[in-house]
Amino acid sequence: MQYQNSLAFAKQLDKEDPLSHLRNRFHIPKDKNGNNWLYFTGNSLGLQPKQTKEYINQELKDWASLGVEGHFEAKNPWLHYHEYLTTAMANIVGAKPIEVVVMNTLTTNLHLLMVSFYRPTKKKYKIVIESDAFPSDRYAVESQLKFHGFDVKEGLIEWKPREGEELLNSDDLENIILQQGNEIALLLIGGVNYYTGQFLDLKRIAEIGHSKDCVVGIDLAHGAGNIQPKLHDSGIDFAAWCTYKYLNSGPGSLAGLFVHEKHAYKKDLPRFAGWWNHNKETRFNMRMPFDVMSGAEGWQLSNPPILSMAAIKASLDMFEEVGMTALREKSEKLTGYFEFLINTINSDTIKIITPRNPKERGCQLSIQVKNANKNLHKKLIENKVITDWREPDVIRCAPVPMYNSFEDVYKMVSILKKNL
């Protein structure tokens, strides 16, 4: 498409957009005068769907009127509530329903998965992460190494960008595995890098890791609801992600977990046990020995928080209605227009470090600021543009196809240009 740098063109794109109506189904933050902010931080916290209140109120109503019987008699019986989310979540991440469950929070899930899939020996114990991994991933793998009695300096291997570059190159990961694969037990990689917005080739990562019998796990926090990761087809062993970013489930809400079907029936995999990963047919017979469930449900521990799941369901029902294919089509077009407009700015102060290829990124563009001191980010906030600053020098902006418009993008770049 030939983009044009004009408000009229942006409005025309919105008029032609078959998903433009979705914006009206979200609460857009407003200033004290009732004017909408320009919101570009769905990569940190997604906006609230208007129907979320209705979904949560239904469960509050059933709790008030039914008490404990809500587990069986509620409009959406609580005993099975997590199952109402499974198919929609599987469709979003490209998995089979048996491979997905909604439970706990992201880092908790990563730890539970590493209990099963990080099984180090004295010779094969190292863990590979990307050098600029999200801090919580680094903390998690460092603590796992320490827990198993290994030195972090020896056990943690970083996959780094090449000198003078910001993006990761899969050839370099392949070289790491070729050289040290016999000592590496696990790859735990962010599928979409939080800082650069780079979407990595998950299938190739799996092939590289498996070539030396390494387990491959993916943190999909910045990917779920943003890109189409095709987790089943990728062949990775496990993944986890939060739901409060692109999946719009509310601050601190529950997370998702994926375990590949090839592991679904391995009941001898070591894992922590709880009430909710016990066979649901005999779960309420309190004196039965532990009988782990097959599939991703076999990693659950406790009965789920229904109010949080209701908020997730409110958003997932919208994803099911629209479909990830349509959302990705709009996302590539919307982010492409955003990139075009930024590139029309004649300034050496900023540059985009996110991959130019739409297939190697989601909706986020990371804008690197020369001689950064956060002032540009502060100026955007003063002009009612909500973006996200990441040290040392990047403003992250995510035009989310569910609720951002082409007009949003045009106005944001106009404000950016005036404040350089």
Regions of the chain with pLDDT less than 70 = none
How high is the pLDDT of residue 281?
85
Which residue in 146, 112, 143 sits closest to 271, CA to CA? 112
Domain ranges for the chain, please list them.
7-49+323-418, 81-320
What's the CA gap between 255 and 249, in Å, rounded? 10
DSSP strand pairing (255-259 vs 238-242) = antiparallel
Is the peptide bond prior to 392 cis by the omega test (within 30 degrees of 0)? yes
The CATH code of domain 7-49+323-418 reads 3.90.1150.10
Beta strands per DSSP E along 209-334: 215-219, 238-242, 255-259
What's the CA gap between 76 and 61, in Å, rounded? 11
Residue 86 identity: T
CB neighbourhood size of 394 (10 A)? 21
Phi-psi sector, 248: left (phi>0), alpha (psi -120 to 50), beta = left
First to last CA, the chain: 28
Architecture in CATH of 81-320: 3-Layer(aba) Sandwich (3.40)
Residues 179-235: tens digit of each pLDDT: 999 999 999 999 999 999 999 999 999 999 999 999 999 999 999 999 999 999 999
- CA quadruple 197, 198, 203, 207: dihedral, nearest 10: -120
Residue 300 identity: Q
Beta carbons of 298 and 277 less than 8 angstroms apart:
yes
How high is the pLDDT of residue 107?
98
DSSP strand pairing (385-386 vs 365-369) = unpaired
Beta carbons of 1 and 334 less than 8 angstroms apart:
no
Cα R_g (the chain), whole angstroms? 22
How high is the pLDDT of residue 186?
98
How high is the pLDDT of residue 285?
84
What's the CA gap between 414 and 411, in Å, rounded? 5
How high is the pLDDT of residue 283?
86
How high is the pLDDT of residue 286?
80
What's the CA gap between 351 and 212, in Å, rounded? 38
What's the CA gap between 48 and 247, in Å, rounded? 10
Residues 6+ apart with CB under 8 A from 275: 283, 301, 302, 303
Name the pTM for this structure. Answer: 0.96
How high is the pLDDT of residue 280?
87
SS3 state of residue 152: helix
How high is the pLDDT of residue 334?
98
